[in-house]
Chain A
Amino acid sequence: MINFRYSRAGDVADAVRQIASEPRAKFVAGGTNLLDLMKYEVERPGHLIDISRLPLTGIEETASGRVRIGALVPNSDLAYHPLIEERYPMLSSAIRAGASQQLRNMASTGGNLLQRTRCSYFYDVATPCNKREPGSGCSAIDGHNRMHAILGTSEACIATHPSDMCVALAALEANVNVAGPAGERVIAFADFHRLPGDTPQRDTNLEPNEIITAIELPARGFAQNYTYIKIRDRLSYAFALVSVAAALELEGKNIKEARLALGGIAHKPWRDENAEAALRGQNATRDTFKRAADILLSGAKAYAHNAFKIELARRAIVRALTQAAQGTPQSQSNKKVL
């Protein structure tokens, strides 16, 4: 870990002011990802601005029926909050599928969005990585890429986004509220994370001098028909090979509204409007689900070690939609997939 200065932000405005004046500064809240990366010398900030004491810890319903989650709400508090468990159980489930209870107790809601990839080349400063060192090359494309992306990849980077929570937030069409020197703005979740393109060093469209203040969830929570399935190499405490957040609104057998987001397969939580459109208005049958899966994966591209993810994702989508349609969401404790 390199030397860095430390300061505390008094309020959001102060945080924005501080980060604007320090080009090598970073915010720290839960620290679960940043400190890990600093210890590996992947992140080398010259200054940490502690935002953990800012009053961004509320979870409240807004006048318009939306739910506003403060950026510093710990992941575990969010997962177990009665309002979230009742109205957005898919979000609750996705959070509980990730990391461990200790990490969820530490990690903040805003920080979860900013998690960096688990690509092993990104983590090892002895190897080339365009995300860590732009222009140095991507070691994963011709290397170990079993964990890597099958959709939205580029010649520069095939890393995946590691979050579970974000997969559910994508499906729920959350908004990200941010504050910066120019004031506040709202970023739609779909626009928050980026595909690697030729700038894989940029994970998100958050500007370096902006701070996430809240996540807002639309009123629609899909509390009846939803699931979150995470498939990984051991039964807990591992990153996803493939994960699926599926949410439906049904009228009898007919799908009125559908949301489908995948984790572990792309540089961002992956949603496909065409796949969702293929579900809307259709009967909730296995064939319908298969069609949606085929659409979502139609552009998938495999590398040497991750071809299995395409078929695995296809089956996981079908299973998740089946669970959602049946109203039998996946337990995150009993590892038998229903």
Chain B
Amino acid sequence: MAAYIGTPTSRVDGRAKVTGEAKYAAEFNSDGLVYGAIVTSTIAKGRIKRLDASAAKRVDGVLDVLTHENRPHMADADQAWKDDVAPEKGSPFRPLYDDGIRFSRQPIALVLAREWEIAVFAATLLDVEYASEAHVTDLYAERDKAFVVEKPAKPRGDAPRAYAASEVRHEDEYFVPVEHHNPMELFAATVVWEGGGKLTVYDKTQGVQNVQRYVCSAFNKKPEDVRVVSAFMGGGFGAGLRPQYEVALAVLGALALQRSVRVVLSRAQMYGLGYRPATIERLAVGASKDGTLNAMTHEATAVTSEYEDFSRNDTGWGGVLYNSPNVNFVHRLARLDVSTPCDMRAPGAATGVYGLESAMDELAVALKLDPVELRLKSYSDRDRNEDRPYTSKQLRECYAQGAAAFGWSRRNPEPRSMRDGKELVGWGMASGVWEALQMPAAARIVLTANGHADVSCAASDIGTGTYTILAQVAADALGLPIENISVKLGDSTLPDAPVEGGSWMAASASHAVIATAEEVRTELLAAAKTIENSPLADAKAEDVVLADGKIMSKHDQSRAVSITDIMRHSGADRILKEKKHEFGEDSSHARNTHSAVFVEVKIDEELGIIRVTRVVSAVAAGRILNTKTAASQIIGGVVWGIGMALHEETVFDHRFGRIMNANIAEYHVPVNADIHDIKVIFVDEPDEKINKLGVKGVGEIGIVGVPAAIANAVYHATGTRVRDLPITLDKVLG
């Protein structure tokens, strides 16, 4: 039954992507398409006193300039703008709503013209006068005013007291700056005016149905009048979980002109969207002399906007990973005059575990204990936050296999002890952890008499490999060769799926396909029974499988009927089934993925140049549906971790309340030359409790732990502990 699941199947959408046939949101050209260019604010806070678009409107080819003064109607109520994943508290941003300026680079006008270049030119002719107000964009300046937000992981014992009584202690702060996703594709929406009030919206989004509901409620449209499509997305990483303002602007433009409109953000304008919030991670960890953890305090203070409370779980991971009798977790938010942060790859964990695993390394140094040993000393077989067992947790194997593959046993623990010519060599490690989430999702299968199946679901494949794993799962569940499966995704009219994020799509969508395939099998069996002298006349549903294009008895493969014969007999040319799958409510077990990350850095002793020469990431994430695409997910996560550790920082000039590296030349992400040997190990982790397939998802776990492992390796190489990311070379110049 598992001809494809678990194999390194090449991407089924690969050909479309290597030939340029795959179409992204800005690539749907239609006759009479109007191009929208966005104008954004140059101040961070205040209001628009005067906005004169008369010169822009004089340009031949400009059809209109939309501002807060002349835009079409949109909803006033906050609730109407709350998408599926909006923060609970707050008033979502809506473009061109009023004269208020809440952050620098806020959109203030949309210039609509018959050619892109004309719109861009006319946008330079807008005359804007602002009434500025004092703004604050510096987390440290607002830190004292930060307020506490409730988080699931609760304190246990008396951490401050236990910490004070601990024989060996470490306490410090770690800082992660604002980081931007910078997916390669610019945020874009093409709204096709279909007539009769109907809109087809090609949007860069990780959730077509989320955007569909959002457009309907914000613009008072009927559900049947709005179709949202995102079959391919040029990178999301969380940036496209919530509807972004390009789609609202494109809809406004289409409504104003009653024509098709495309809006594409510039790279600079994408710095006015969401981001990973700057976060101060304060850790205090105490242990007895033998390394037994005794106390852990983790306090996070993160940025949010003035208008929404966005936060994720930075704290609490220590209670999932380790056994400490006394813990205290506090999460605070500071409001700044910036746009609302949003999810970015492993939100909360990438930042929180960086702090936690850096502190654990410092504790290991203080204890003179091997960092892996320290972690094994406090290894927890239960989720201590909720006091429950795991569905599975093979983290111990991750440490063992990762360390062996890396050669960890050859490490000299002394900082600055290992060299390669002019370079200091550092070996560092860290643990990683993420949640194995799963959501209700539906799928449709249309099986035709020639043994082909169309599988569809509204889920988006943002590069994660959803097309491919669903084709594998469907091929196995239907007993067909994978070439006979075609998968359709990213269309709001398809069966329900959650937004693509949090690593939950693999489990969610694959089980929807399995459940639907079971319905197909049931119908095939019923039809097979009606055939005269059917070899399956007395077979029960649980006794048959689909394989080799046939439905057959599990016990006797000769008792089989081909799909073609069943269809011919029943006179049907196809079987269509749609089924929504929900996972059973069960909070008795913790569901997590884990990793152990081992890193080698080489650092020029005089010049500070840091090279990450080797990474081994050993991952326990249940069953791996596709070892090729899943390994790519982990490699990608490691590359992100390298960027987070060494390169990435959104730089604000707080005087202007403005991002000064709003581009992809000075906002550094790793380039090819920065990336060397990355080895991915998937530790065997059978999990019969979590779900039928034992799938946990791998999108986030790859990044978690990597920044700390690198920071720890940098310390081991240089003896310098850098506690604020990114670790640029000036911070290690002795």
Whether A337 lies near B422 (C-beta < 8 A) is yes
Name which of B298-306, B568-576, B601-609 contacts chain A: B601-609
A24-43 CB contacts (< 8 Å) to partner B:
41
A127 and B658 contacting across the interface, CB-CB below 8 Å? yes
Nearest Cβ on chain A to B58's Cβ, whole angstroms: 12
Nearest B residue to A3 via CB reads B121
Kindly state whether residue A319 has any CB partner on chain B within 8 Å: yes
Closest CB in chain B relative to A265 CB, distance in Å: 14
- Residues A335 and B673 in contact, CB atoms below 8 Å apart: yes
Q: Is B668 on the interface with A (CB-CB < 8 A)?
A: yes
Cβ contact within 8 Å between A308 and B422: no
CA A243 to CA B422, docked complex, whole Å:
18
CB-defined contacts of B662 to chain A, threshold 8 Å: 124
How far is the CB of A334 from the nearest CB of chain B, in Å? 10
Given A143-B653, A144-B651, A335-B611, answer yes or no on A315-B606 (Cβ-Cβ < 8 Å): yes
State the total of A-B contacts with C-beta under 8 angstroms.
Answer: 98
A337 to B421, CA, bound (A): 10
**Contact assessment for B673 and A235 in the assembled complex, using a CB-CB cutoff below 8 Å:** yes
B660 close to chain A: CB less than 8 A: yes
Which chain A residues numbered 271 to 292 have a C-beta less than 8 Å away from chain B? none
A5 CB-CB contact with B under 8 Å: no
Contact A1 B658 (CB under 8 A): no
Bound form: Cα–Cα A231–B665 in Å: 16
Partner of B733, one of A41, A118, A311: A311
Q: Are B655 and A41 closer than 8 Å at their CB atoms?
A: no
Q: Contact at B656–A233, with CB atoms within 8 Å?
A: no
Chain A residue at minimal CB-CB distance from B43: A126
- B345 close to A (CB within 8 Å): no
Within 659-675 of B, Cβ neighbours of A (below 8 Å) are at 660-663, 665-666, 668, 670-674
Specify the chain A residue showing the minimal Cβ separation from B41. A126
B522 at the binding interface (Cβ < 8 Å): no
How far, in angstroms, from A41 to B607 measured CA to CA in the complex?
37
A236 vs B670: C-alpha distance in the bound complex, in angstroms? 9
Which residues does chain A contribute within 8 Å of B661, judged by CB atoms?
Answer: 120
Q: Does A237 belong to the interface (CB within 8 Å)?
A: yes
Q: Please encode chain A, from 133 to 149, with 1 for each CB lying within 8 Å of some chain B CB and 0 for all others.
A: 00000010011101000
Q: Which residues of A contact B602 (CB under 8 A)?
A: 336
Note all chain B residues with C-beta closer than 8 A to A238.
665, 668, 671
A333 closest partner in B (C-beta): B673
Determine the chain B residues whose CB is within 8 A of the CB of A143 once the complex forms: 653, 655, 660
The reply to whether the CB of A63 lies closer than 8 angstroms to some CB of chain B is: no
Cβ B604 vs Cβ A337 within 8 A: yes
B605 to chain A, nearest CB (A): 10
Q: Which residues of A contact B653 (CB under 8 A)?
A: 127, 139, 143-144
A121 touches B607 (CB 8 A): no
Chain A, range 202-257, C-beta contacts under 8 Å to B:
231, 233-239, 241
B581 to chain A, nearest CB (A): 44
Of residues 599 through 621 on chain B, the ones whose CB sits less than 8 Å from some CB of chain A are 602, 604, 606-609, 611
Taking a contact as CB atoms closer than 8 A, the residue among B655, B658, B671, B733 that contacts A235 in the complex is B671
Shortest distance from the beta carbon of A250 to any chain B beta carbon, whole Å: 22
Given contacts A127-B656, A312-B607, contact A41 B666 (CB under 8 A): no
Residue in A124, A235, A316 whose Cβ sees the most chain B Cβ within 10 Å:
A235
Contacts of B668 in A (CB 8 A): 233-234, 238
**Binary flags per residue of A77-106, CB closer than 8 Å to B gives 1, else 0:** 000000000000000000000000000000
Q: A124-B658, A124-B660 are in contact. Are A231 and B609 (CB under 8 A)?
A: yes
Is the Cβ of A234 less than 8 Å from the Cβ of B658? no
Within the assembled complex, what's the spacing in Å between the Cα atoms of A337 and B730?
16
List residues of chain B with CB within 8 A of the CB of A234. Answer: 646-647, 668, 670-671, 673-674
In the bound complex, do residue A236 and residue B729 qualify as a contact, i.e. CB atoms below 8 Å apart? no
Closest residue of B by beta carbon distance from A314:
B606
Cross-chain contact of B674 among A118, A124, A127, A235 (Cβ < 8 A): A235
Q: Which residues of A contact B674 (CB under 8 A)?
A: 234-236
Q: Which residues of B have CB within 8 Å of A142?
A: 655
The answer to whether A336 touches B423, judged by C-beta atoms less than 8 angstroms apart, is: yes
Q: Contact partner of B121 among A1, A241, A336, CB < 8 A?
A: A1
* Interface residue B564 (Cβ < 8 Å from any Cβ of A): no
Interchain CB contact under 8 A, B421 and A236? no
Q: How far is the CB of A307 from chain B (nearest CB, A)?
A: 9
CB distance from A120 to the nearest CB of B (A): 4
B278 to chain A, nearest CB (A): 15
A236 vs B674: C-alpha distance when bound (angstroms): 7
Chain B's closest residue to A238 (CB) is B668
Q: Is A182 an interface residue (CB 8 A)?
A: no
CB of B42 closer than 8 Å to a CB of A: yes
Residues of B contacting A316 in the complex (Cβ-Cβ under 8 angstroms): 607
Residue B720 CB within 8 A of the other chain: no
Give complex CA distance A163, B602 in Å: 27
Asked, given contacts A127-B658, A234-B671, A236-B671, whether A335 binds B609 with beta carbons under 8 Å apart, the answer is: yes
- A307's nearest neighbour on chain B, judged by CB, is B730
Residues of A within 8 A of B670 (CB): 234
B609 touches A337 (CB 8 A): yes
Residue B693, interface by CB 8 Å: no
Cβ of B706 under 8 Å from chain A: no
Report the minimum CB–CB distance from B726 to chain A (whole Å): 8
A231 contacts which of B421, B611, B658, B729 (Cβ < 8 Å)? B729
Known: A233-B668, A235-B611, A308-B730. A144 touches B673 (CB 8 A): no
When distances are taken between beta carbons in the complex, the residues of chain A under 8 Å from B666 are: 118, 120, 239
Q: Does B76 contact A (CB under 8 A)?
A: no
A110 vs B421: C-alpha distance in the bound complex, in angstroms? 39
Rounded to whole Å, the gap between the CB of A99 and the closest CB of chain B is 10
Chain A residues whose C-beta falls within 8 Å of the C-beta of B730 in the assembled complex: 146, 241, 308, 312
List the A side residues contacting B655 at CB < 8 Å: 139, 142-143
Cα distance, A337 to B422, chains bound together (Å): 8
Measured in the bound complex, the distance between the Cα atoms of B271 and A124 in whole Å is: 13
B626 CB to nearest chain A CB (Å) = 31
Which A residues are in CB contact (< 8 Å) with B665? 118, 238-239
Cβ-defined contact, B660 with A2, below 8 A: no
Min CB–CB distance B419 → chain A (angstroms): 12
B660 touches A233 (CB 8 A): no
> Which partner residue on chain A sits nearest B734 by CB separation?
A311
- Closest approach, in angstroms, between the C-beta of A230 and any C-beta of chain B? 10
A-B contact pairs, 11 of them (CB 8 A): A1-B117, A120-B666, A121-B660, A139-B655, A233-B668, A234-B670, A237-B673, A241-B730, A311-B733, A318-B606, A336-B423
Q: Which 9 A-B pairs have the closest CB atoms?
A: A126-B42, A236-B673, A308-B730, A120-B660, A235-B673, A315-B606, A237-B671, A235-B674, A234-B668
Q: A235-B609, A235-B671, A236-B671 are known contacts; what are 11 more A-B pairs with Cβ within 8 Å?
A: A2-B121, A41-B124, A124-B658, A142-B655, A238-B665, A241-B729, A308-B733, A312-B730, A336-B611, A337-B604, A337-B609
